[in-house]
A = this chain, B = another copy of it.
Amino acid sequence: MKYQLGEGFWSQKIRQVCDRMIPLQLSILKDEEPDTEPSHALENFRIAAGLSEGEFHGMVFQDSDIGKWIEAAAYRLMIAPDPELEREIDGIVAILGKAQQEDGYLNTWYTIKEPGKRWTNLQDCHELYSFGHLTEGAVAYHQATGKRAFLEIMQRMADHIDTVIGPEEGKLHGYPGHPEAELALYRLYRETGNEKYLKLSRYFLDQRGQAPNFFEEEWERRGRINFWSGKKDPVNLPYYQAHQPVREQEEAVGHAVRALYLYTGMACVAAETGDAELAEACRRLWHSAVNRKMYVTGGLGATVHGEAFMGNYELPNDTAYAETCASVALCFFSRAMSLMERDGKYGDAAETALYNTVLAGISLQADRFFYVNPLEVVQGVSGVQEGLKHDLAQRPRWYACACCPPNVARLLTSLKEYAVQDQGSEITVHQYLDGSVECEKAALSLKTNYPWDGDLLYTAEIRDDVKLYLRIPAWAEPENVRLTVDGAAVPVCPEKGFICLEPGKGRHEIRLCLPMKPRRIYAHEQIRQDAGCVAFACGPLVYCLEGCDNPEPLWNLTADPEGELSMLDPDGSLPDGIRKMVIPGHRRTDASESLYSGRRPVYEPQKLTAIPYYAWANREPRDMRVWIREG
């Protein structure tokens, strides 16, 4: 499925990733970026390859940064050729090849720092995680260029892993501490056709959480020492989603990114193998994550403690974690579910994550990045106070643990895979990605200013009979949606979130008009942190109030329960045609000396101005909040 950029919202974002983020990240990986702490990721491979001397530096999973960058760069090459970029990748692949050991093993941490200790700590040392990301990079690069060198490197490593881990006697009966290899092995199987990789992926999935517990046994073997704390901490199995077999799991728990990578792997394998029990577990876990534990911004993993899911409906706004990677991973998981069954809810959730938390992960200039995405920021408290130190009010330039920026890069450069699903005679449009996609039997071209207006104009060149499924977002009441095919109105009665068109061969103009009226959002009655509050959205974009546009402190503002919300035309204070929202409200205006008194607070009318959540923290650092008191 070939994709050509257009001129709209996503094309502009993808161009930024291609033109700024990918070169920036390469520069960082090569330790060439000024004023940024060296990544050492490539240097680690050079040392392992004998091309350089020195010590290992970085996280135990530093290798994965290379895999994720190559993956993003490969997708970038699929959009448009770039011989210079390809040469860079080939150069890196050559180093990786030299760093690979005789037996296929490839991991710089163990090769440089802990030789002889391979496979002794699957729980925490990320060998299989780094393998997974490198493999995803190798698959993508093979898809982009047809070059096999990297793919073969990673096949050799996969073959080696298969000799070390598995159900047979004498092998380790283990699985990844940080899931990722499961979905990567699935992709390697799809790319190579070698069923061994599917089998190993399935082994990882089904062995997880079985008794006796592999992580507990491994922990005993290494003297009960926790790798991260250096202390004798017991194994927190739910953190690793290893507390019970995956088929029995009912609730999304533990480290959110690990969980969502695991569920993605489960969904891929379930769809591929027609495993109904595994598919049902995926549906339960998707429901738990999305309908019990997701922020209105598509953020997941509410607590910094273990970067983990909290209990049902526990969604604190100021202490939120909501790692960018978790929202990226929700896109992976939802796409895998979409491939299993056509239901608009998967695209709805991915849309929420994409337009809000994923995009909030990068600055409007695509040069600074959020790892953590709070829904409330208070100057002098957020980023400062114990318990809130992770909630920064400004995007840092880079992170020692740099997982999020390359994750956003690889997601956005491959966004066509999330937007359009080509099954030959069925084409499903999940997301409204401007530009053109070339499917097997049709070419679809979308011109639109969406999400700044709701007018989506598709030109479809249909070469053979196809059913074209368009997702109608859950926020768009069908009675307010207008759809025409070649000027003729089509009734809008979505089934499971989709309208099916069969326009027939030839060129067609399909015009979808979504109702882009700004709207209020209320939270479930069990979410205590949002009680009495309202949030605002327009189309897929959740809005927030920032101190730059409103009198601080923001907690003294209320939104009127009635009264019209309106959208402003772009005013130049934010780039990219961003539209602000105006909300009728009030502001507390009394001033007290004493902390407590019997005097009722005084409120005066105050126009509130909201901006898209993804655009926050792009001006001077000020307070921000998504949920506003209604009153």
Chain A residues with CB under 8 Å of chain B are 290-292, 294, 296, 303, 305, 310-311, 313-314, 319, 378, 380-381, 385-387, 475, 519-528, 531-532, 535, 553, 555-556, 558, 561, 588, 590-601, 629-631
Contact = CB atoms under 8 A, between A and B. Distances in A.
A381 B311 CA distance: 9
A222 to B, nearest CB: 22
Contact of A387 (B294, B380, B387): B387
B380 A311 contact: yes
A386 B525 contact: no
A314 to B, nearest CB: 7
A525 B590 contact: yes
B294 A595 contact: yes
A378 B528 CA distance: 9
A383 B631 CA distance: 32
Given A387-B319, A600-B520, A591 B525 contact: yes
Nearest to A527: B595
B291 A593 contact: yes
A58 B598 CA distance: 46
22 contacts: A296-B596, A305-B386, A305-B387, A310-B385, A311-B380, A311-B381, A314-B385, A319-B387, A519-B598, A520-B598, A520-B600, A521-B597, A521-B598, A524-B595, A524-B596, A525-B592, A525-B601, A527-B595, A528-B553, A531-B556, A532-B555, A532-B631
B596 A521 contact: yes
A310 B378 CA distance: 14
Contacts of A310: 385
Contacts of A594: 291, 524
B600 A522 contact: yes
Q: Could you say how many copies of this chain the assembly holds?
A: 2
A291 B387 contact: no
A439 to B, nearest CB: 32
Contacts of A527: 595
Contact of A629 (B303, B532, B590, B598): B532
A402 to B, nearest CB: 25
Nearest to A592: B524
Contacts of A313: 595
A306 B230 CA distance: 24
B303 A525 contact: no
B561 A600 contact: yes
A556 B525 contact: yes
Given A387-B319, A631-B631, A598 B532 contact: no
A112 to B, nearest CB: 28
Contacts of A588: 525, 531
Given A531-B556, A555-B528, A596 B523 contact: yes
Contacts of A591: 525
A598 B522 contact: yes
A381 B522 contact: no
A495 B498 CA distance: 75
A522 to B, nearest CB: 6
Contacts of A629: 531-532
A311 to B, nearest CB: 7
Contacts of A523: 595-596
Complex A-B, nearest 3 residue pairs according to Cβ-Cβ distance, in ascending order: A305-B386, A531-B555, A528-B555
A345 B596 CA distance: 13
Contacts of A303: 385-387
Nearest to A314: B381
A461 to B, nearest CB: 37
A381 B526 CA distance: 13
Contacts of A598: 475, 519-522
A322 to B, nearest CB: 14
Contacts of A555: 528, 531-532
A290 B303 CA distance: 32
B561 A522 contact: no
Nearest to A593: B291
Nearest to A597: B522
A429 B629 CA distance: 44
Nearest to A595: B524
Contacts of A592: 524-525
Nearest to A290: B595
Contacts of A319: 387
Contacts of A630: 631
A508 B311 CA distance: 63
A99 to B, nearest CB: 36
A57 to B, nearest CB: 23
Contact of A601 (B291, B381, B386, B522): B522
A522 B385 contact: no
Contacts of A387: 303, 305, 319, 387
Contacts of A381: 311, 314
A519 B596 CA distance: 12
A555 B528 CA distance: 6
Contacts of A595: 290-292, 294, 296, 313, 523-524, 527
A553 B525 CA distance: 9
A387, A528, A600 — which one has the most chain B CB atoms within 10 A of its CB?
A528
A524 B524 CA distance: 29
Contacts of A290: 595
Given A311-B380, A521-B598, A522-B597, 9 more contacts: A290-B595, A294-B595, A303-B386, A520-B598, A522-B600, A522-B601, A524-B596, A526-B553, A561-B600
